[in-house]
């Protein structure tokens, strides 16, 4: 019997602490195999901080306007689970769930008013793979007040600022000032829709709030109005009234993107390796044509990455650097995620063993490999030779990309790994160069 301690911690209006126990046989669990017992304990939090972020405080009761908590758990090959808990006047709630093990389990928590209105919510995707896991879900960020908005069209120059205001009721936003519209905020993710004052175009904005709550950045798409063609680019908002964007800690340039970086995309962690001069040395995705790839970083930290993929020629990713080692990156159709520099290439160094188990339950591959001090594969067994690639770790996040000697017609010719590092164990998922998701699955690795 394997026991999994699985903790879900909600920061904002409360924290969820979940301990998960799973039963199963030997080997790595595959999607849909076994059941996991999830014990969820809710603790309430206080509000606010100077930045508008809500912090944990054990002794406070449930906020007066919250009468119920709704928890929804869903994923592939399982029935969606939902439970509504009466919490008015309580300071602690403990609930047990039996959750079918698998990858990309979606945990959604919502705080409800008496009339059923969702006041706050947060969510995370997590893999139940038989290892202890702590999951933090940010529930609330208060961004009401006056802001200054800047945007730069792709390939264009920084545009004059707009003065905007946010009015917030729970997760719902109303945009006022120079721009008129509405939006929502879930955790630290923001989505806005408004009509531009420039020429009446419709604008959709998505992005991430910085950890200090004083700025947000991401990407936008605009169409209609006086635009002759759809427009896309990068946007940033900062608290207060400013005539120019807050100055960066130093002028950014192509040199800031040098060596391996990790994109924490909604689908999984992806490796990109830059040369510091505008060239891309490696990308941990399928169907890449590196000779045609490149990037450009502008002085204000905004940047674009051009990839030439067999199935998506001329793909452009856009982002903005907030410090010398982190930023935000977005791709059309893929969403927005944090972008972090891999500071220590040796963080994953060592001898690893483990399994890759596909979601259909048809194949489980036992692998063993060695990663050198540069994060590169030194030896590998479990697939046809030669096997090259990388496994990198940064801030508890893991990304790997392996090129095997399997035939070009095999989905295992290329393998991408994404997960989290706890001690010497990696729990996560893997993707293959296949047309069907059944040949993707769970990855379980241990450093010896």
Catalogue the long-range contacts made by 269-276 (C-beta closer than 8 Å, 24 or more residues apart).
269/397, 269/398, 269/399, 269/418, 269/419, 270/399, 270/416, 270/418, 271/390, 271/392, 271/399, 271/400, 271/401, 272/305
Taking CA atoms, 202 is separated from 152, 198, 361, in Å, by: 16, 11, 46
State residue 314's pLDDT score. 66
For the chain, domain boundaries: 6-138, 145-239, 254-341, 350-447
CATH of 350-447, one of 2.60.40, 2.40.128, 3.40.50, 1.10.287: 2.40.128
State residue 366's pLDDT score. 96
State residue 142's pLDDT score. 66
Taking CA atoms, 382 is separated from 355, 389, 393, 438, in Å, by: 9, 14, 22, 20
The whole-angstrom separation of Cα 143 and Cα 171 is: 10
State residue 163's pLDDT score. 87
Q: Are 260 and 271 in contact (CB under 8 A)?
A: yes
The whole-angstrom separation of Cα 227 and Cα 427 is: 47
- Judged on CB neighbours under 10 Å (0-12, 13-18, 19+), 235 is buried
CATH of domain 254-341: 2.40.128
β-bridge mates for residue 389, sequence order: 402
Q: Judge whether 6-138 and 145-239 match in fold.
A: no
**6-138, CATH topology level:** Immunoglobulin-like (2.60.40)
User: pLDDT tens digits, the chain, 448 residues: what are they?
Assistant: 222 222 223 333 333 322 222 333 333 333 345 777 777 655 443 333 322 333 233 334 566 777 888 888 888 888 899 989 888 777 666 677 888 888 877 877 777 888 887 766 666 777 777 666 666 655 556 677 888 888 878 777 777 788 888 887 766 788 888 888 888 776 667 788 888 766 788 888 887 776 566 777 778 888 888 888 888 888 888 888 766 555 454 678 999 999 999 998 878 899 999 999 999 998 888 876 656 678 999 887 888 888 876 666 667 888 888 788 888 888 766 777 889 999 999 999 999 999 999 877 778 999 999 999 999 999 999 999 999 999 999 989 999 999 999 998 888 999 999 999 989 999 999 988 865 555 688 999 999 9
The whole-angstrom separation of Cα 85 and Cα 16 is: 13
State residue 425's pLDDT score. 93
State residue 398's pLDDT score. 95
pTM of the predicted structure, to 2 decimals: 0.59
Q: What is the largest CA-CA distance in the chain?
A: 64
Please provide residue 424's backbone torsions phi and psi, each rounded to the nearest 5 degrees: -115, 25
CATH of domain 145-239: 2.40.128.120
Taking CA atoms, 18 is separated from 61, 106, 132, 188, 216, in Å, by: 19, 14, 10, 21, 30
State residue 436's pLDDT score. 57
State residue 93's pLDDT score. 62
State residue 27's pLDDT score. 32
């Amino acid at each position: 019997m394997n026991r999994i301690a699985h903790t879900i911690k909600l920061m904002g209006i409360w924290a969820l602490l979940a301990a998960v126990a799973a039963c199963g046989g030997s080997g790595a669990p595959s999607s849909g195999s076994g059941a996991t017992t999830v014990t969820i304990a809710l603790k309430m939090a206080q509000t606010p901080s100077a930045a508008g972020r809500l912090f944990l405080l054990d002794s406070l009761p449930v906020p007066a306007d919250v009468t119920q908590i709704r928890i929804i758990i869903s994923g592939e090959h399982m029935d969606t689970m939902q439970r509504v808990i009466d919490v008015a006047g309580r300071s602690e709630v403990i609930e047990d769930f039996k959750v079918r093990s698998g990858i990309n389990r979606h945990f959604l928590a919502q705080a409800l008013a008496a009339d059923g209105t969702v006041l706050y919510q947060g969510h995370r995707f997590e893999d139940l793979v038989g290892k202890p896991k702590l999951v933090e879900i940010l529930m609330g960020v208060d961004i009401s007040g006056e802001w200054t908005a800047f945007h730069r069209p792709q390939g264009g120059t920084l545009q004059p600022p707009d003065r905007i205001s946010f009015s917030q009721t729970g997760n719902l936003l109303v945009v006022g000032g120079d721009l008129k519209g509405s939006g929502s905020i879930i955790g630290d993710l923001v989505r806005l829709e408004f009509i531009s004052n420039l020429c009446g175009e419709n604008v959709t904005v998505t992005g991430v709030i910085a950890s200090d709550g004083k700025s947000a950045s991401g990407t936008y798409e605009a169409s209609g109005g006086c635009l002759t063609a759809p427009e896309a680019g990068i946007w940033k908002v900062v608290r207060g009234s400013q005539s120019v964007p807050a100055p960066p800690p130093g002028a950014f340039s192509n040199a800031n993107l040098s060596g391996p970086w990790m994109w924490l995309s909604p689908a999984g962690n992806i490796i990109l390796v830059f040369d510091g001069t505008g060239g891309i040395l490696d990308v941990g995705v399928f169907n890449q044509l590196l000779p045609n790839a490149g990037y450009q970083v502008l002085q204000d930290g905004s940047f674009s990455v051009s990839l030439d993929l067999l199935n998506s020629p001329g793909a452009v990713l856009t982002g903005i650097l907030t410090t010398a080692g982190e930023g935000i990156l977005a791709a059309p159709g893929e969403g927005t995620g944090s972008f972090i520099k891999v500071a220590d290439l040796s963080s994953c160094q060592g001898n690893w063993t483990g399994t890759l188990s596909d979601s259909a339950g048809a194949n489980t591959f036992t692998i063993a490999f060695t990663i050198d001090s540069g994060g590169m594969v030194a030896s590998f067994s479990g697939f046809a030779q030669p096997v090259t690639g990388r496994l990198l770790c940064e801030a508890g996040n893991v990304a790997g990309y392996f090129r095997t000697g399997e035939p070009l017609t095999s989905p295992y010719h290329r393998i991408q790994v994404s997960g989290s590092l706890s001690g010497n164990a990696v729990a996560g998922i893997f993707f293959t160069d296949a047309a069907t998701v059944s040949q993707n699955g769970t990855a379980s690795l241990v450093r010896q």
